[in-house]
């Protein structure tokens, strides 16, 4: 009998994960948005349920009969959703970009004897898995991850499209960026330390500090670690203008007697402007550089990813690179290959060579290929 997996969230990434998992499992997808669920049911034969997942009792009732939960809810719902799933005794793979520290739920997960892998996307996610693999096998001196998802066509004024909740994207522009320098935590404002970086496949992009290290800042003992977000050149200026003008603020203001958070208005306005329209293509680009010593010799590993919209399956690149990393790990948990109890950061998945190879090969089978250069 096929195992039963439930995917929470039917957005561009959640939907792609449900379609991928259906190849092997009995899959149900749940979302509050009936429009998002409709093509999954009609085109792919996936079981769907329209539910409000913010309600604890509804959520726990939804998942009670499933072997594994894949959570793709918006970041602001992520922590509580994960907590409720753990309390329901469910194994979970999670890609919600939650602002809270998900490792704080580790004791609760161990108490309920469940296996959870959080932040299991592309970055955070695959970058962590790669670093976890090499950290077990060499003395790492530095880790740098440059990553971004962008539309192929640069359309004024933003030259950007979001495949996640706009508020989750805005978090990247306002959340203080943490990185490790000389074994010490450094905190800078987001969008700082801009650099221009050339990529053969796409040309010159702009990189800047974002809070992408996440769990790596505490789980890894590496002298230098940093992640930077990539955008088309010029993005920083308009983002700074919006941020400094208060458009990203969570503090309520009074507008004609109505209390509103500026960030909610901004997200509402940007939702349609940032949405990928049918037929629009995107790409994901990532470069990971790991330097250190291995078997007494200096060694540098460079991982390059350049993934594009899949025209054959009509799947956006960010859904492929994020979603298929998540579904690879979901397969591992469903098949009893990864069983470590508690809340696991994705770097823990990469420690064992067979786990690392499984994820890499799973992605390769789906055309998501990391090219490795060794120096």
Task: Give the span between the Cα atoms of 208 and 186, in whole angstroms.
Answer: 14
pLDDT value of residue 148: 95
Q: What is the 3-state secondary structure (H, E, C) of 276-311?
A: CCCCCCEEEEEEEEEEEEECCEEEEEEEEEEEECEC
3-class secondary-structure state, position 147: strand
pLDDT value of residue 297: 96
Bridge partners of 179, per DSSP, are 186
Alpha-carbon distances of 228 from 123, 177, 213, 239, 306, rounded to whole Å = 10, 9, 9, 15, 16
Locate tokens 């997960």: which residue? 109
Domain 126-308 in CATH: superfamily? Dihydrodipicolinate Reductase; domain 2 (3.30.360.10)
Structure tokens at 29: 């997808």
pLDDT value of residue 278: 80
Q: Using an 8 Å Cβ cutoff, are 46 and 28 in contact?
A: yes
pLDDT value of residue 43: 94
pLDDT value of residue 121: 96
Of the candidates 366, 222, 205, 225, the residue with the CA atom closest to the CA atom of residue 288: 225
Q: Domain boundaries in the chain?
A: 4-121+318-368, 126-308
Q: Out of 2.40.128.720, 3.40.50.300, 3.40.50.720, 3.40.430.10, select the CATH number for domain 4-121+318-368.
A: 3.40.50.720
pLDDT value of residue 81: 97
Task: Give the span between the Cα atoms of 348 and 165, in whole angstroms.
Answer: 27
3-class secondary-structure state, position 4: strand
Pick out the chain residues at pLDDT < 70. none
Task: Give the span between the Cα atoms of 319 and 17, in whole angstroms.
Answer: 8
pLDDT value of residue 168: 81
Of the candidates 143, 135, 346, 347, the residue with the CA atom closest to the CA atom of residue 228: 143
Q: Using an 8 Å Cβ cutoff, are 205 and 199 in contact?
A: yes
Task: Give the span between the Cα atoms of 49 and 343, in whole angstroms.
Answer: 27
Of the candidates 55, 114, 103, the residue with the CA atom closest to the CA atom of residue 81: 55
Tell me: the pLDDT tens digits for 159-172? 998 877 788 889 88
Q: Provide the greatest CA pair distance for the chain.
A: 68
Of the candidates 363, 213, 211, the residue with the CA atom closest to the CA atom of residue 288: 213
């Amino acid at each position: 009998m096929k195992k039963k997996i439930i995917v929470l969230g039917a957005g561009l990434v959640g939907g792609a994960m449900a379609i991928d998992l259906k190849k092997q499992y009995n899959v149900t997808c749940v979302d509050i948005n009936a429009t998002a669920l409709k093509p999954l049911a009609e085109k792919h034969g996936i079981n769907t349920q329209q539910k409000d997942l913010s309600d604890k009792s509804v959520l726990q009732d939804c998942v009670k009969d499933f072997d594994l939960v894949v959570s793709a809810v918006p970041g602001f719902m992520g922590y509580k959703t994960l907590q409720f799933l753990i309390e329901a005794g469910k194994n979970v793979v999670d890609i919600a970009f939650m602002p809270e520290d998900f490792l704080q739920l580790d004791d609760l997960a161990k108490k309920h004897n469940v296996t959870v892998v959080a932040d299991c996307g592309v970055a955070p996610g695959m970058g962590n898995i790669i670093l976890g693999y090499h950290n077990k096998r060499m003395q790492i001196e530095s880790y740098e991850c440059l990553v971004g998802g962008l539309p192929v066509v640069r359309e004024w004024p933003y030259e950007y499209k979001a495949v996640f909740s706009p508020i989750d994207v805005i978090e990247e522009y306002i959340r203080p960026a943490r990185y490790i320098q000389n074994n010490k935590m450094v905190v800078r404002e987001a969008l700082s330390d801009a650099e221009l970086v050339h990529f053969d496949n796409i040309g010159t992009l702009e990189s800047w500090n974002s809070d992408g290290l996440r769990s790596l800042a505490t789980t890894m003992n590496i002298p230098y670690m940093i992640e930077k977000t990539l955008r088309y050149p010029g993005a920083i200026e308009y983002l700074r203008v919006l941020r400094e003008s208060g458009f990203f603020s969570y503090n309520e203001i009074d507008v004609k007697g109505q209390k509103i958070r500026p960030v909610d208005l901004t997200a509402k306005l940007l939702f349609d402007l940032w949405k990928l329209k049918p037929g629009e293509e995107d790409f994901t680009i990532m470069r990971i550089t790991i330097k250190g010593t291995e078997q007494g010799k200096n060694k540098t590993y460079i991982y390059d990813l350049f993934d594009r919209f899949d025209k054959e399956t009509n799947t956006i690149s960010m859904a492929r690179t994020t979603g298929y990393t998540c579904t690879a790990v979901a397969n591992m948990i469903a098949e009893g290959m990864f069983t470590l109890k508690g809340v696991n950061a994705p770097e823990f998945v990469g420690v064992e060579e067979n786990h690392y190879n499984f994820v890499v090969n799973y992605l390769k089978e789906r055309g998501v290929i990391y090219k490795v250069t060794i120096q």
